[in-house]
Structure 1
Amino acid sequence: MFFSEQDIYLTFLNSRPQIQRFLHQRLHCQETAADLVQDIYLRLMLLKPPPRSETEVRAWLFTVASNLSIDHVRRQKRRGELLDRYLDRPHEADDSAAPERLMQARDQLDIVQSALAELPDQCAEILFLSRVEGLSHARIAEQLGISCSWVEKQLARALLHCRKALDRPEH
């Protein structure tokens, strides 16, 4: 039996709500789930050879959805670890240098405040909501009406901007 491109598309459309729910349950972010559903559709349309039955299409869809969600979580974890490692600075245990460290900390605070003032408003707000208010990326996305991936990108941008400001030779 020949399973046409239209049959594949209709199977995808009928399965889409279930795939979206599946991804949302795993990722806890509706926008990321929607983005991944679009990626799945593109991969399905490019799949060679195409699936031969509805069962094959559905199995393929959920397998790819599972793999993409795992990849996404790994990427986010790796991104977070890299940012944490990049932003961490070792602290000296010697108290004899406490006044010097206090001056250095004040200088660094001034640098970070200047760097924050250079950021676009939304970028700075995302950093504030995440690091000061302690909101999750999903909650920030919901509150600001943007996608989780945009929150993550803007947060990374803000942190990197602050780190670069601290690493400038003139400081």
Structure 2
Amino acid sequence: MLKRSRFEMRFTPYQQRLYGYAVAMTGDRDSARDLLHDCVARAAAAHNRPADEPAFRAWLFTIMRNLWIDQVRASQRRTLAIEALSDAALDMPVALESVAVNAFAVRQAFELLSHDHREVLALVDISGFTYQEAAHLLGVPSGTIMSRISRARQVLAKLLADDEPTIVSLSRATREK
């Protein structure tokens, strides 16, 4: 028989309450299960967990709340992007083609960036993390995030301003050997 981990023993008493909280926030049991799973994964991976039980419980609920906020923000960004694309398509059929071409150009330029630049842009500009959050996630000082973001944006802008089209391999593996 497998022995339960210390984390599992501490987490189990709060599992039903966390699930109820997730259902209340999401309004959907499937989404709530996904949110609970993400919360467990985030908490289990944490290196520093609060020692006393009231702080541990509050910490778990804070993790869940923050994950929910991140999901809502991401959903809002997707909705705004879809609405913008829909408005552009209604206003001018040619505008949609231009948006698609621009999106393709940005995607190609993004693929040409170094791993560090892609990673930091994905966290801050695409996923909406603050510099502090990105620094914490990557385990680097926030100044490093600021300089990487600045350099990555400069390189991306230069790539997009280049008049010569660049062909990007469909497989990143062939480029990063």
- What interval of TM-score do these two structures reach, taking the shorter chain for normalisation? 0.3 to 0.5
- The structure whose RCO (Cα within 8 Å, separation 6+) is larger is 1
User: Normalising to structure 2: TM-score of the pair?
Assistant: 0.45
User: Normalising to structure 1: TM-score of the pair?
Assistant: 0.46
Greater Cα radius of gyration, structure 1 or 2: 1
